[in-house]
Amino acid sequence: MTRLEISDAAVADAIAAEAGYMEELLARLVEAPTLLGNEEPGQELMREAFRELGLEPADVPLDADALRAHPAASPFSWDVSGKANVITTWGSGGGRSLILNGHVDVVPPAAESLWRTAPFRATRDGDWLFGRGAGDMKAGLAAIVGADSLTVTVRGDAVTLSGTVRSRADHDTALTAAAAAPGVTDVHDELRVMG
């Protein structure tokens, strides 16, 4: 197998080329008020972003009983019926795997009077973009899509990947580990399932 060598400058250039798209996606995610129980607008934005890359998103429905029975589960008391994690997978599956994972839910903005701008309005100030969830975890979600875009571009240039990349936009933080995929008991099992 030939090892692909990419310079740091080439990686930085590729990231810079995707920066505008990632910033625009981040702004759309911030402006989706994805409070616990209302995550679907953010999930739909992630489905759209994956589709724009030519990837096929899929929903993995959450099962409260299975989640609670999982050895790595965090306790939760909210209703997850009708909720799903959004995933997409690409790669040949023949080598090592990588999971890029994030969550769309945010905590309430508390007293809006303490905010300089509306919490669900993406506001740019210099190199910073402000808004509820911008740092935790919506910038991470935009970066996941950016990383998927960069790797799809590399794949499109006839670089063969021997592994699998799975990207996930989870319903919420506490349910991440246990809701990976059917038959998965932990992140290590998810890696085994994926190849």
Structural domain contains residue 113: no
Structural domain contains residue 2: no
Give the type of residue at 188. Answer: H
CA angle 94/149/85 to nearest 5° reads 75
Structural domain contains residue 3: no
What's the domain count of the chain?
A: 1
Structural domain contains residue 26: yes
Q: Read off the CATH number of the domain in which 178 is found.
A: 3.40.630.10
Q: Where in the sequence is the domain holding 13, given as residue range(s)? A: 8-75+82-108+122-194
Structural domain contains residue 42: yes
Q: Residue 155, SS3? A: helix
Structural domain contains residue 59: yes
Q: How confident is the model at residue 99 (pLDDT cuts 50, 70, 90)?
A: confident
Residue pLDDT, tens place only, 41-54: 999 999 999 999 88
Structural domain contains residue 33: yes
Residue pLDDT, tens place only, 101-110: 899 999 999 8
